[in-house]
Amino acid sequence: MSGYNVVGQRVPKLDAAQKAMGRAEYIQDVRLPGMLFGKILYSRHAHARITAMDISKARALPGVHAVLTGKDIPSKMRMGFYKDNPPLKADKVCCFRDEIAAVAAVSEAVAKKAVSLIEVEYEPLPAVFDPEAAMEKNAPLVHEAHKSNVLKLPWKLHYGDVEAADKASAYVVEDRFTTTWVTHCCLSTSGAVALFDASDNLTVYSNTQIPSLAQKDFLETLGAMGLKGKRVRVIKPVIGGGFGSKLDTYAYEHIAILLAHKCRKPVKILFDRKEEFEATSTRQPTVIYIRQGCDKEGHLTFRDIRMVLDNGGRTSWGATTPSVMMMPITSLYRVPNVRYDAKCVYTNNTYAQAMRGYGNPQATFAIESCMDMLAQKAGIDPVAFRRINQNEPGDVTPQGFKITSCGLAQCIDAVEKELTQGRPLEEGEGIGYASLIHVGGGARIYKSDGCGAILKMDDYGRVDIFTGGTDMGQGLDNMIAQIVAEELGLLAEDINVVHTDTDVCPWDVGAHASRSTFVAGNAALWAARRAKQTLLAFGAKLFEVAPEDLVMENRTVSVKNDPEKTMPVDKLLRKAHFSPGGTMLMADYFYDPPNENMGKDFKCNLSVTYSFGVHGVRVHVDKETGKVTVKNYVAAHDVGRAINPMLLEGQVYGGVIMGLGYALSEEVMIKEGQIRNPNFRDYKLFTAKDAVPIKAPVIETHDPDGPFGAKGIGEPGCVPTAPAVANAIYQAVGVRIKDLPITPEKVLAAILKQSKGS
């Protein structure tokens, strides 16, 4: 037993009853007095000059309050870290997703009608849709001023001596893998409401994962609008799914701000599902060339990876995913010599953002598929091959990651045991494995990786804790409530977690990198410790004992070994409050983990600790149709400690099914820059009918730095899924599919090719 009362309990999600009753308010449900509705006009071409635009008919439509075009955008206003994306484009469009005009009107219907009345003339330009073709000399330039389609980004590293290791290796394999566009498919579509007060201070309601960074982006927008020195408040309604999609600010948010300022009224922009598919970002597609070798005993000798990333027409966080891909490339298994070179290349396609795993699923697909290929070449069982190379506690990887707690070995054991005991393999069945490493103790991408927490206790023994972190459904509220309740001897339901408003919540870098339990959790824990210290000091005076002789448990403060001396927490709080020179119990903490920014050579200890996991899957492949059926799935994760096993399992199950979609069925189909399947009928998500039996063994390694020993688990569930499936298919029918998704067509074609060849 853990010895804890609240940590480790399957406490239902704190907002679950509200959600079950339909009372949770999402961005769809935000309505403000006098609110107008905004609508955006998108490009009709993948690559074209805008030669003329006539907005007179739209402006003349009754009910229209404002029409904006690219010409109305302040010249300094650019979105995204690469600053190549004005919210409305004036002269040229680089992809179908480019926003070129926007309307605010009294209703959605009028706004929609007005947008349809805007007349645009284009002069189409030669376009390029293949990133490798876009690197060729005579390829059309997506951004002429950039002079090259290759982005100026530094994604290149070389540790050790790959060429010497290559020569010295006993076995070497190499191949090319590709991953395509998939998208988040949050059930709640995107939206924002912007409004200004009479002094030009701005409030934005937005379902963002990065309230503090969004505030900064919106302040920049105000600055570009000539409104320097004004305040920005970001309010988050209940978020209907994130998965990375809300990690950047989008054009619709900045357009809502511009429209609200022009109209002096609140303006809401809410996407419909088609727009959600067409105008939000995808996972970063990749072309991966991998070469990997080992010695006679099966020890990895080197890993050499070159990637081309389709950047699309604009730049969002997708272009920075190589920084995270470096993690599995340099640090998944012990591999002494590593080289990596990634190029992000402009095309006239859509562009990518963060998505659960942030590049890790793509890199791990190539690495772990290649691991099986290398094991086979070396004549070693795939599981034994992984054991030979597994990471261990105390390792320092070539990139400088310091592995502290590491349950990879236990994860391999757990998965193998689950999958191989009992029913033997039947005809057409195969078992595949793949492992993962991910940041589990924050990730120092920005100068600060911190999160603040402010805690206050009222006269009734209840806690309000204001966190910078964001709950978007993953359950951070519970993590914080259970951590604080445990520390203060309360129940989870005594803790009210507030994360909705930048006016009252402290700074946080955002809900990314599986960092919230670790970073926001540690901030909350330390704030609770400070509060406890104050309260116990007061209690010590009252009971005339030393503070360390007191315990907080079951909503009471008691003297150890003296059952007579005890007082309910609420009573003690009231005594503290209403004594002469009284005090209210408040505490704060800003936790910035002791991790490191990447150096010029990308060496650092990016995270305080790392999460590990192993997935194994038993599939059946129908040789007649190529259809792959998942029979059993086992996903074992080293989570440090499960703060709430039920919510933890939910993260794993959800991640696995998202990963299976990535492996088998999901694809944003883009032809000549245009999305052909912007709906749930043609974009193939797993449904309840496709649900598979999943087991999720939890390996607890009690990380020394995690809150109560916990590490991050938000993203890992979908990281090694695709290669596990690909490896299982190979074991089942002997064909290796290297391009995601692994559709029945691809499997069948490979089976037919194989039988022709034999």
Based on the shown chain and the rule CB under 8 A, indicate whether residue 475 belongs to the binding site for other proteins: yes
Contact range with other proteins by CB under 8 A, out of 5-13, 37-45, 132-140, 190-198: 5-13
Strands (E), 325-440: 337-346, 429-439
Verify binding: residue 267, other proteins, rule CB under 8 A.
no
Residue nearer to other proteins on the CB measure, 364 or 644: 644
Q: CA 735: distance to chain centroid?
A: 32
Residues in 286-315 that interact with other proteins by CB under 8 A:
none
Distance, first Cα to last Cα, the chain: 57
Indicate whether 669 belongs to the interface with other proteins (CB under 8 A): no
Residues in a beta bridge with 618: 431, 632
Backbone angles phi and psi of 388, in degrees to 5: -60, -35
> Which of 143, 555, 574, 575 forms a contact with other proteins (CB under 8 A)?
555
- The answer to whether residue 458 forms part of the interface with other proteins (CB under 8 A) is no
Q: Is 22 in the site for other proteins (CB under 8 A)?
A: yes
Q: Is 185 a residue that touches other proteins (CB under 8 A)?
A: yes
Is residue 29 part of the contact set for other proteins (CB under 8 A)?
Answer: yes
Are 607 and 324 in contact by the 8 Å Cβ rule? The answer is: no
568 binds other proteins (CB under 8 A): yes
184 is a site residue for other proteins (CB under 8 A): yes
Contact assessment for residue 222 and residue 36, using Cβ atoms and an 8 Å cutoff: no
Say if residues 161 and 214 touch (Cβ distance below 8 Å).
Answer: no
23's enclosing H/E stretch is none
Q: What angle do CA 149, 150, 156 make, to 5 degrees?
A: 175
Rule CB under 8 A: is residue 687 a binding residue for other proteins? yes
* 120-128, 285-293, 472-480, 523-531 -> range binding other proteins (CB under 8 A): 472-480
Nearer to other proteins, 168 or 685 (CB): 685
Classify residue 132 by burial, with Cβ atoms within 10 Å: 0-12, 13-18, 19+: middle
Q: Does the footprint of other proteins cover residue 685 (CB under 8 A)?
A: yes
Q: Is residue 28 involved in binding other proteins (CB under 8 A)?
A: yes
CA distance 639 to 702: 8
| Closest to other proteins by CB, 29 or 562 | 29
Q: Under 8 Å CB-to-CB from 202, ≥6 apart: which residues? A: 194, 195, 196, 218, 222, 227, 230, 231, 232, 233, 257, 260
Q: Look at the block and give the residue holding tokens 């070396």.
A: 378
**DSSP assignment of 263-316:** HTS-EEEE--HHHHHHHS-BPPPEEEEEEEEE-TT--EEEEEEEEEEEEESS-S
CB proximity list for 209: less than 8 A, separation 6 or greater: 239, 242, 244, 245, 246, 247, 470, 472, 510, 511, 512
Q: Choose, by CB under 8 A, the member of 657, 675, 748, 750 that binds other proteins.
A: 657
Q: Provide the minimum distance between the beta carbon of 697 and other proteins in the complex, in angstroms, as a whole number.
A: 14
Q: Per-residue x/- mask for other proteins, residues 613 to 642, rule CB under 8 A?
A: ------------------------------
Q: Which residues of 391-406 are buried (b: 16+ CB within 10 A; e: fewer)?
A: beeeeebbbbbbbbbb
Least distance (Å) between residue 652 CB and other proteins: 8
Q: Determine which residue in the list 137, 600, 689, 756 makes contact with other proteins, applying CB under 8 A.
A: 689
**Alpha carbons 367 and 300: distance in angstroms, whole number:** 12
For 521-603, where are the alpha helices, taking DSSP H only?
521-543, 569-578
Binding segment for other proteins among 14-22, 519-527, 599-607, 746-754 (CB under 8 A)? 14-22
Counting contacts by CB under 8 A, is residue 600 touching other proteins?
Answer: no
Min dist CB 535 to other proteins, Å, is: 16
Told to check if 187 binds other proteins by CB under 8 A, we report: yes
Q: Does residue number 676 form part of the binding site for other proteins (CB under 8 A)?
A: no
Q: Which is nearer to other proteins, 294 or 355 (CB)?
A: 355
| Burial classification of residue 496, based on how many CB atoms lie within 10 Å of its CB (0-12 exposed, 13-18 middle, 19 or more buried) | middle
Our finding on whether 684 is near other proteins (CB under 8 A) is no
**CB 286 to other proteins: min, Å:** 23
Using CB under 8 A as the binding rule, whether residue 686 contacts other proteins is answered as yes
Binding site for other proteins (CB under 8 A): 10-13, 15-26, 28-29, 184-189, 238-243, 272-273, 461, 472-475, 491-493, 554-556, 568, 570, 646-647, 649-650, 653-658, 679-681, 685-689, 691, 694
